[in-house]
């Protein structure tokens, strides 16, 4: 497996958050087998699209959301511990690496988070989705998705979500 060199695209003044995000993406790219060139090309394209300050704010907001999601899952865990229900073992760093691997977007839709009209809590907020709904909150059993999609999926499958989405789009196309 090739490693990604410590070179970054030429840019003006990078903040500490942006440098840390670059290191996280580089680590995630290595873990999923991306080449150094692909990672660097992605960073160059991304830098041209999103101003540095906006990107740092977005990453800071995602990090805070993931912290809250873990705290919320642990709160539910305490209530259900007596029943032998799911355990929370995922860490914030594991979630950030997972987000970096999916380009800081929803794992199901590929859309960026926080694009709705809601201020803090809405359907485009990030949410922890367990692949096995009866399983633990572990790194291997989690993905980060839209809250709205996670709610829609419930105990169903991605195929159920897709079937519903197709019906909604079909109905919208028929409307005058």
pLDDT digits (tens, 9 = 90+) for 135-164: 888 999 999 999 999 989 988 888 998 999
What's the rounded Cα separation, in Å, for the pair 81 and 60?
31
Helix axes 52-80, 16-32, angle to 10 degrees: 70
Give the other-Cβ count within 10 Å of 43's Cβ: 18
Q: What is the pTM of this model?
A: 0.59
CATH number belonging to domain 50-174: 3.30.40
Asked whether residue 46 carries a pLDDT value surpassing 60, the answer given is: no
């Amino acid at each position: 497996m090739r490693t990604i060199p410590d070179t970054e695209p030429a840019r003006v003044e990078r903040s500490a958050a942006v440098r840390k995000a670059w290191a996280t993406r580089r680590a995630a790219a290595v873990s999923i087998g991306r080449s150094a060139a692909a990672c660097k090309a992605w960073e160059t394209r991304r830098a041209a699209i999103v101003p540095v300050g906006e990107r740092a704010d977005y990453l800071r907001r995602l990090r805070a959301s993931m912290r809250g999601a873990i705290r919320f899952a642990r709160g539910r865990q305490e209530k259900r511990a007596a029943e032998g229900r799911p355990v929370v073992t995922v860490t914030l760093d594991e979630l950030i690496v997972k987000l970096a691997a999916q380009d800081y977007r929803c794992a199901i839709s590929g859309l960026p988070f926080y694009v709705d009209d809601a201020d803090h809590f809405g359907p485009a907020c990030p949410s922890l989705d367990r692949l096995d709904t009866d399983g633990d909150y572990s790194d291997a059993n989690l993905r980060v998705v839209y809250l709205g999609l996670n709610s829609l999926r419930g105990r169903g499958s991605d195929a159920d979500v897709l079937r519903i989405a197709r019906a909604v789009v079909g109905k919208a196309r028929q409307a005058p």
